[in-house]
């Protein structure tokens, strides 16, 4: 294994995060704080408890998950797209480094940033609402698995995209709506039966539900189903990246 290469790419990507710390870390924290002010305090004060906790506390896992999904995708997609855009990808492709090592370094860095930001948002949330985490290890497991899965998904988008517009299309037009409709701000139990069933086809429901279970011990779907769906998504993304490197899709002629 070319551990020096993995370390070099990982450090390079992490250095980029700290070079753009306002955009990378401060911005999502401010956005999340605004969500808490608007949904938690202004609107949430008029909503009764859900699952035995205040509305403000109820939306914490959903907000963290929504931030992680979007940040994982944007970090990983930009990480691999930018070298393609500037032409520096030549160095990566001519280096003695395997596909798995490239993916591990880029996705590992993007997932690290997401976990960091998730924890920062969690700390920010604690300033606004009384927090409880019933299953902290499961919470961490979901945080890491979701960050990895969606960083992999972002990596795929970064290879697929051939322009900055395409880089934004999937996060804005697919992921964000799915996140909003995935039970971030409500329990899908509150929906009419038809929309409840429709929601079960939304993969984000399983992520939010499992993550919320680790906080309050209650969930829309079984935690094992949530875990299983997350792992299936992760394996699916791994298979696609493997195919991309094997065939040289949009990387090599």
Partner 1 sequence: MQPIISISNLSKTYANGFEALKNVSLDVRKGEIFALLGPNGAGKTTLINIVCGLVNPGTGSVRVGGHDIVADYRKTRSMIGLVPQELSMDAFETVFATVSFSRGLFGKPSDPAHIEKVLRSLSLWDKRKDKVMTLSGGMKRRVLIAKALAHEPEILFLDEPTAGVDVELRREMWAMVRGLRDTGVTIILTTHYIEEAQEMADRVGIISKGEIILVEDKDVLMRTLGKKQLRIELREPLAAVPTSLTSHGLDLAESGGMLVSTYDASADRTGITALFRDLAREGIAIRDVETRQSTLEEIFVGLLEERA
The DSSP line for 18-83 is HHTHIIIIIHHHHHHHHHIIIIIIIIGGGS--BTTB-HHHHHHHHHHHHHHHHHHHHHHHHHHHHH
CA torsion sign, 157 to 80 to 168 to 197? positive
CB of 80 to partner 1, least distance (A): 13
Least CB distance from residue 202 to partner 1, whole Å?
Answer: 37
**Nearest distance in Å: CB 244, partner 1:** 13
Comparing CB distances to partner 1, the nearer of 113 and 212 is 113
For residue 175, what is the DSSP state? I
CB of 9 to partner 1, least distance (A): 7
- Closer to partner 1 by CB, 5 or 60: give it: 5
Binding site for partner 1 (CB under 8 A): 2, 4-5, 7-9, 11-12, 15-16, 19, 83, 86-88, 90-98, 248, 252-253
**Shortest distance, CB of residue 20 to partner 1, whole angstroms?**
9
Nearest to 143 by CA among 200, 50, 78, 60: 60
Q: Give, for 201, the enclosing helix (H) or strand (E).
A: none
97 or 143, CB closer to partner 1? 97
Specify the residue, 44 or 83, whose C-beta has the smaller distance to partner 1. Answer: 83
Report in angstroms the alpha-carbon separations of 25 from 16, 120, 168: 12, 8, 19
**Closer CB to partner 1, 5 or 152, in the complex:** 5
């Amino acid at each position: 294994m070319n551990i020096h290469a993995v370390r070099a790419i990982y450090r390079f990507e992490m250095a980029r995060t700290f070079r753009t710390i306002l955009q990378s870390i401060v911005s999502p924290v401010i956005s999340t704080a605004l969500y808490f002010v608007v949904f938690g305090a202004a609107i949430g004060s008029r909503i009764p408890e859900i699952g035995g906790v205040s509305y403000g506390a109820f939306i914490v896992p959903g907000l963290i998950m929504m931030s992680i999904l979007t940040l994982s995708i944007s970090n990983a997609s930009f990480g691999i797209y930018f070298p393609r855009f500037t032409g520096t990808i030549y160095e990566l492709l001519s280096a003695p480094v395997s596909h798995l090592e490239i993916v591990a370094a880029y996705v590992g860095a993007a997932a690290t940033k997401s976990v960091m930001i998730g924890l920062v948002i969690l700390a920010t949330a604690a300033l606004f609402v009384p927090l409880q985490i019933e299953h902290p290890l499961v919470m961490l497991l979901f945080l890491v698995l979701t960050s990895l899965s969606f960083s992999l998904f972002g990596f795929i988008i970064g290879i697929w995209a051939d322009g900055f517009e395409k880089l934004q299309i999937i996060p804005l037009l697919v992921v964000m709506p799915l996140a909003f409709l995935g039970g971030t701000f409500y329990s899908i139990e509150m929906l009419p039966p038809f929309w409840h069933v429709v929601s079960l086809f939304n993969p984000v429901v399983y992520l939010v539900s499992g993550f919320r279970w680790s906080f309050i011990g209650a969930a829309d779907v079984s935690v094992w189903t949530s875990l299983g769906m997350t792992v299936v998504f992760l394996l699916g993304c791994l298979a696609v990246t493997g195919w991309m490197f094997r065939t040289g899709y949009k990387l090599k002629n």
